[in-house]
Chain A
Amino acid sequence: MPSDERSLWESINAAGVPAGRLHGFHSLVSLADLAHASSLEGRLEELRGRSVILLIKNQLIGALAMIELDGVARRMVLCAPDLAAEHLPAVVQGAGVDACIRDAQGLEVAGLAGGSVVAQPQLRPLASARRRSGATEWVLLTSGTTGAPKLVLHSLKSLTSALAGQTRPAPGTVVWSTFYDIRRYGGLQIFFRAVHGGSLVLSDPAEPVIDFLARAAAAGVTHISGTPSHWRRALMSGASGTIAPRYVRLSGEIADQAVLDGLRAAYPEAIVAHAFASTEAGVAFEVRDGQAGFPATMAGGAGPVELRIAQETLQIRSPGTAERYLGEGAEVLRAADGFVDTGDRVEERAGRYYFMGRRGGVINVGGLKVHPEEVEAVINAHPWVSISLVRARRNAITGSVVTADVVLADETGGTGARPPAEALTRELTESCRRALAPHKVPAMIRFVPSVEMSAAGKLVRPLA
């Protein structure tokens, strides 16, 4: 398993020539082929010592680039395919990016000292043997309040800490798959597990869930992970029986009892586990008893991952936590004592902690974070809006949906007559749709006489 002194490629090879394969949407690569071939136009050496941003849409090409770059680049910045072009300059600056790997569909950055490599799924002979220079810094993006991503600094060691002490499966016995994109923390965890002794079936956003499950089944999937929302979609597809995994994992959102029961019924032979992890805090724990929440005894216990509950919020200290946020004036990621505040609120009932949503009003829609401030800014820009409060509403399909309470400007203060509520709802929805990703657009807009303000003049955000 990974160590301080090994690159990802060396770690993959530590138990001999890897037998695993990476199954992309269109093509397939054997890990062993990377010993003498590369996806990087024969330009890997140009990236040595650079801070390299990965602007790659295709997940297979992204996986190859991560394996090739670790130990070579000084830093690599992973971008999920939905990174908006408008946020790219801030990411490039914040991470001191001086080179880029993109694929044919990826965003472009001009004027980098180290240039831009266009990665290909077809491998070309590697000019010289793979060589490790030192530990590469890994940077993951996570959403911030203003919509601009925050840069989270990890190392291969912190990202793979949950694998420490695990034994490699016998060759050919484990095939992983994940609904996630592997450039997000939850998907990246599955990528690391898979390349250390298994194979991996990668998803594609353009692929219907039924086709994805059929492709995973054809590859002989044994272990598969997704958010509760991914799993509800699979259960509602009627095709969940296409696969017969031994291990089913949920993470990235609150796993409610309905989805756990649904998976238990669909896969009676499988271990159904829900895990808690975040980009900043790392992998904290996995619960395998089929019940929502986690046993209260897990908090305060000894071991490499320490959990504590402070002000009803889960805090984590472990070798898997990120180092810090990058960028000027970045906020503090870890407290002085090493604990990371997850922002996830928990409540104890009968010896078990249950997740109650996020502090600070952050909304999790199908595993994607929404900061209410970002949505409020769009709504508040409307001439007839005085103030708005955006919050989560619990939802059985995506965990939460976004709703907005809107206080309209005084009828007498505006110019002309105020449009009817229906027209205003339409206008507000339209402007949100133009400015925001679909999951951030309020599913419902209510017009209310007032929203609660604190003595300090801040919006009072409801706790769940």
Chain B
Amino acid sequence: MTVRSTIASQFQKVAQEQDRTLAPLSDDLKLVQSGLDSLSFAIIVARLEDSLGIDPFNATDAVEFPVTFGDFVRLYENVAK
């Protein structure tokens, strides 16, 4: 699975668990309009750390907080490189 598909499937899984309606995932989807709340994002980030082995938010370099789904994926792709 690519980084992107791992992230997308985690979004779907957590949305389902949290009884939230996930908006169709596209690069320009704003996270705030995705249908997920902070707790959902927290769970996604924790599970991605397990499945991808990375937590880009904990990198030593300054982090720009992602605003769109595309930003979120790129954050992981850049660390995964």
A residues bordering B, Cβ < 8 Å?
208-210, 229, 232-233, 235-239, 258, 261-262, 265, 365-366, 393-398, 401, 403, 429, 438-439, 443-444
Contacts and interface: CB of A to CB of B under 8 A. Distances in A.
Nearest to B62: A261
A233 B43 CA distance: 14
Contact of A232 (B17, B30, B39, B65): B65
Given A366-B38, A401-B39, A438-B39, 18 more contacts: A208-B32, A209-B32, A232-B65, A235-B65, A236-B31, A236-B41, A236-B65, A237-B32, A258-B58, A258-B63, A265-B62, A265-B64, A365-B39, A366-B39, A396-B45, A396-B55, A397-B42, A443-B47
A395 B42 contact: yes
B26 to A, nearest CB: 15
A237 B71 CA distance: 12
B32 A238 contact: yes
5 contacts: A235-B65, A237-B67, A258-B58, A265-B64, A396-B55
A397 B41 contact: yes
Contacts of A396: 42, 45, 55, 57-58
A453 B38 CA distance: 34
B11 to A, nearest CB: 14
B43 A401 contact: yes
Contacts of A438: 18, 39
Interface string B53-73: 001011000111111100000
A443 B46 contact: yes
Given A396-B45, A429-B17, A232 B38 contact: yes
B72 to A, nearest CB: 9
A396 B46 CA distance: 8
Majority DSSP secondary structure for residues of B touching A: helix
A229 B38 contact: yes
Contacts of A237: 30-32, 67
A444 B46 contact: yes
Nearest to A235: B65
Given A236-B31, A236-B32, A393-B46, A261 B38 contact: no
Contacts of B67: 236-238
Given A209-B32, A237-B32, A396-B57, A262 B65 contact: yes
Nearest to A237: B32
A396 B43 CA distance: 10
Nearest to B50: A444
A439 B39 contact: yes
A232 B67 CA distance: 10
Nearest to B44: A397
B66 to A, nearest CB: 6
B52 to A, nearest CB: 14
A398 B37 CA distance: 11
A396 B47 CA distance: 12
Interface in B7-55: 17-18, 30-32, 38-39, 41-43, 45-47, 50, 55
Given A236-B67, A258-B57, A395 B30 contact: no
A398 B58 contact: no
Contact of B39 (A209, A398, A403): A398
A252 to B, nearest CB: 14
Given A396-B55, A397-B45, A443-B46, A262 B31 contact: no
A233 B38 contact: yes
Contacts of A365: 39, 42
Given A237-B32, A258-B57, A261-B63, A443 B38 contact: no
